[in-house]
Amino acid sequence: MPADSPWLAFPAPNPRAKLRLLCFPYAGGGPTIFHGWPSRLPGDVEVCSIYLPGRGARLADAPFTRIFPLVQALVEALAPYLTKPFALFGHSLGALLSFELARQLRRQQGPAPVRLFVSGRVAPQLPDPRPCIHELPEPEFIEELRSLNGTPREVLEQPDLMRLLVPALRADFAVYETYTYTDEPPLECPIAAFGGLDDQKVSRRDLEAWQVQTCAAASVTMLPGGHFFLSTGSTHLLRALSEDLSRSIRSTNG
């Protein structure tokens, strides 16, 4: 195991794992989102949660506001951990980060993921219909966060806590909202897309459009819940991930 990195959290270190699953959070999210996953995924999968700067134990680290400098920093930070087969999972902003990470690794002739899981995010070549919020005045910005239902109400109602969290939240939304897609050849790894049946912003058609980003297999799975179905519908999501990861492990190990 490489030396500890501030970029990664291991909820349940598993040095004998045959595959690592690198998990990228949504805007404002931290590694705790994925802490319950190891016990609900195959035993030969090691869950690695990406820890972005500007939150939690990394509160003093300046958050990134643009995607490509962040992706390059991730490539450098993750390199020691990509020595065994790995898959990428990302939700919303995390889906975008994991996709661009896979492309940056290819540009630099680095290792490729065996599978890319994208969740709650329209395909990158499509325009995102949501309005930009990262430059709103703080009261309006917090109201937009409230409407998205991704930040707990008890957190939103603590002004002192929100003053600490808003810079990283703004930065994450800036990364998401200033993203510009550039056309490149499709990835070679399969892509599995997940969406919420009640998500008003990301439709099945939006998810089906991910298929043009791979020359391998592509799938779409719709799960109960809205945009944050990875919490409300985690049982269904983790069951689907377990099946896909088990297949990937079997194919990787012959």
Confidence (pLDDT) at 254: 58
- Return the CA Rg of the chain: 17
Pick the CATH number of 8-127+183-252 from 3.40.50.1820, 3.10.20.30, 1.20.120.550, 3.30.70.3190: 3.40.50.1820
Confidence (pLDDT) at 1: 56
Tell me the one-letter amino acid at 34: F
Q: Tell which residue, 176, 98, 94, has the closest CA to residue 134.
A: 176
Confidence (pLDDT) at 162: 81
Contact predicate 169/145, CB 8 Å: yes
> Can you tell me the distance from the alpha carbon of 192 to that of 175, in angstroms, rounded to the nearest whole number?
23
**pLDDT per position as a tens digit, 215-226:** 999 999 999 999
How far CA 196 is from CA of 20, 64, 91, 191, 241, in Å, comes to 25, 28, 11, 17, 15
Residues 6+ apart with CB under 8 A from 6: 51, 53, 57, 58, 61
* pTM > 0.85: yes or no: yes
Catalytic residue among 5, 39, 49, 92: 92
Confidence (pLDDT) at 143: 85
CA angle 45, 47, 49 (to 5 degrees): 165
Low-confidence ranges of the chain (pLDDT < 50): none
> In the chain, where are the structural domains located?
8-127+183-252
Q: Are strands 8-9 and 115-119 parallel, antiparallel or unpaired?
A: unpaired
**pLDDT per position as a tens digit, 78-132:** 999 999 999 999 999 999 999 999 999 999 999 999 999 999 999 999 987 778 8
> Can you tell me the distance from the alpha carbon of 75 to that of 237, in angstroms, rounded to the nearest whole number?
27
Active site residue 147: no
| Chain CA centroid to CA 155, Å | 22
